[in-house]
Structure 1
C-alpha cells in the first residue's frame, strides 16, 4: 500500500495551490491539513507547525514520515516519484524553459506580494494600504509583462506554457493569475497568459484545485 500523502495547506495560498494542481495532475489522493494563515496571528507561527516547517510557510507535503517544503521542489519530487503524466518535458532545452517560466513566477513575482511581506510593511513600517496595493500591482505587472513576452509567439508555446500538455510552468502560472485578479491587475494586457490560464482551468485537475473548492475555504467564498 502506498504511503499516505498529507498536504498542509491554506485555501488561498498560491504556493499550496501549485502543489494541489500537481497532485491532481498526477491523480494522487491526499488529505488536506488546513493551516489558517490569518487566525489568531497565523497558525503557521505555532510551535507545532514550526516543527513541520521552521520557515512557518505553507505548503508542506508529508509523504509517509518525510516532510517536504518549498512548492516547486515538492512538484519536482512528485514528478520524479510518479513520472506519469510528466510535469517536465523530455528534452533538457524544454525543461530549462519550463523551469525558467516557473521560477519567474515562484521566485520573482510571488515572494514580493506574499502575505509576510505585506504584513511587514503594515506592522513594522506602517505603510498605508494604497502604497501596499501599488507595490503589489507594480511587481505583478512587471513580472507578467516579461512572462507574456516569453510566452507570446514563442515556438514552444502551445495550448499551455510549453506545448500541448500542462507542465510545472502551468502549475505556477494559474495561481499567480488568481492573485493578480485578487489585486485588480488589468489582465487585458496579457492575452497569452489569460488564454493559457483558461485552457488550464478547463481541466478537472486545475478546476478541483481552485481556492474556492478547498475544504477550508470560507462558506461565502465556496458558495
Structure 2
C-alpha cells in the first residue's frame, strides 16, 4: 500500500484537549483532525475540503520526542468588568516535540498530499495558530498490513485490551508513560457551531512502545521498524 511518511517538528506546541477551558491541557501528540487540518491548509484547500479529507485520509502518528511539558499563563480580555475586564488562562505546552506522520489514501489523493508536503501553498502550522511546524524527510513508502502485538504509534484502545510499555528511546530522553485519552475523528458541520462526533479512545505516549495482550492489524514500516495504527 502506498503511504507517505514525514517528520513534524515544533519549537513549542499545544494540542488542546477540548474538555478543558480555564486550565487548557494538551494531548501528547496531535490528533487526526489536527493533522488533516494542517494538510488541508498546505494543499491550499478550504473548510469544505477539510471535512472531505477527514473521511478520505488515514493517519498514523508515532511520537518520537518531547523534551518537556510545561505550563504558561497569559491574560485575555473578557466582557465582564470584574478584574478590569481581564482574566488569566493557564495552558500546557510541549517543548521541542517531534512526530513521524503516516498518511494513506487513494492514489490520486496521495499524489496531491505528497506534492503539498514538498511545496506547501501555505505556511505549515499545527496546534495554536502562531506555532509554526517544520516538515522534514518527506518520503513515499510501501507498507503491508500484518498482525502484531507490538505497536509504536498512538493506537485505538478497545474494551478488554491491555498493554505493557517497553522503552523505545535514547538515553536520558524524557519519557511519558501511556495514558488513555478521548478524541473525535469527525465533525457534524451541518450545525453552527460544528459538533464533534465519532469519539474514540486512544493510547498515547512518548519514548516507549506497547506490547498488547492480543494481536492487532497494523501497518508495518520495515525501514523505521515501526508498527503503526492508522485511523
**Same fold by TM-score greater than 0.5:** no
**Which has the bigger relative contact order, CA under 8 A and spacing at least 6?**
2
Mark the structure with the bigger radius of gyration: 2
Q: Which TM-score band applies after superposition, normalised by the shorter structure?
A: under 0.3
TM-score norm. by structure 2 comes to 0.25
TM-score norm. by structure 1 comes to 0.25
More helix by share: 1
